[in-house]
Amino acid sequence: MEFPAYFVTITAATVVLLAGYIALLHMGSRFFSKPEMAAYANVELQHLFISLMIFVSAFAIYASSDQLASAIGLKPGEESLNQVSINFLQKTISQGIMPAYVNLVSLDMQLSFWSALQGRHGPSVWNYTFKQVTGLEPIISVVRILSFTLTAFLGTLTAQVLIFYLIEALMPIALACGVLVRFYPPARDAGTYLIVFAIAFQSFFPLLFVLNVHILDEIWQAHGWGETYSPYVSIPKDLRVQAFSDIVPDELENKLQSVSFDPGTVATVFSYLPFMSFLRFAALIPFFEGIASLSLPALFLPAITMSLTISFINAMTKFFTGKG
């Protein structure tokens, strides 16, 4: 954690001024024979040492969380927990959200084109106009709902990336401000809250996030889907065959076991062959599976991490202030 140099200077100057103020209180209590002044000076001296201990503990907690993540294999090399989290979110956006969104928009445009084609037999006054490919409107509606869902996922993932950049830039300043504010008696509780807030989001929040990412990797390995979490993959073969088993002949079902139905391929085939009725809703199964996979880092993972972080802030604030 990079601590701003000017805050080091301000913190040192504040400690010196408060130490001088406490020393003057002690001397005044002896000179004026005021024991209450000595008691007040002792209380302020105690809070000064507590503030310094919290200040040092904040760096110790940050270093411990970083070392813990390295020891259990949560982060590679010298990267910080924030950077590991940012890399995971950017990977999810680039390899998950954007390819899926491009495929769905392409599918929407081409299916809308097929749905707009009309024809008739003979002169228009003797016959009626009919659609060349019928039954595409429900499919187009579902495709647009999926596209809107991915847009919402992109917003949540982008917000998470922004949060981690703000944590990396502002939390050292928030910690420094909290330490400085806690030195002054009227704002002691506010300083404690700032310190706990900085510790939680600088150390606890990234550690929990990276730990959840590691859990996702373990889930993927347990199901045999790969070594690490993949944000946009085709559905497993057993689920794929089960989905198609009721609508295709047995010989075609056997061929499905050796064919990779990734969402991009399905979108391309379905776009140019929309009249294949057995592929209508079944063709969207890979997209449903992809969105279900993307909902983990876009919705559930940040919700769990943020809930635990807020609980940590509330508990530690009560512990340091002795209130609640």
What is residue 75's three-state secondary structure?
coil
Q: What are phi and psi of 117, to 5 degrees?
A: -70, 130
**Cα gap 318→13, rounded to integer Å:** 29
Taking only the tens place, the pLDDT of each residue in 253-273 is 454 444 445 555 655 666 556
**Cα gap 218→37, rounded to integer Å:** 61
Percent of the chain having pLDDT more than 90? 8
**Cα gap 202→61, rounded to integer Å:** 9
What integer pLDDT is reported at residue 165 of this predicted model? 92
Provide the residue type at 167 as one letter: I
Most confident of 46-50, 149-153, 288-292: 149-153
Taking only the tens place, the pLDDT of each residue in 82-140 is 888 898 899 889 888 888 888 888 878 877 877 777 777 766 666 677 776 666 777 78
For 131, the enclosing helix (H) or strand (E) is strand 130-131
pTM: 0.73
* Mean pLDDT, rounded, for 139-165: 90
Residue for token digits 């590679």? 76
**Cα gap 14→44, rounded to integer Å:** 13
Per-residue pLDDT at 159 exceeds 90: yes
Greatest pairwise CA separation for the chain in angstroms: 116
Provide the residue type at 146 as one letter: L
Residue for token digits 């869902």? 149
224: Cα separation from own chain's centroid: 24
Token pair in block for residue 227: 């070594």
Listed by start position, the domains of the chain span 74-321
Taking only the tens place, the pLDDT of each residue in 17-43 is 777 877 887 788 777 777 778 787 787
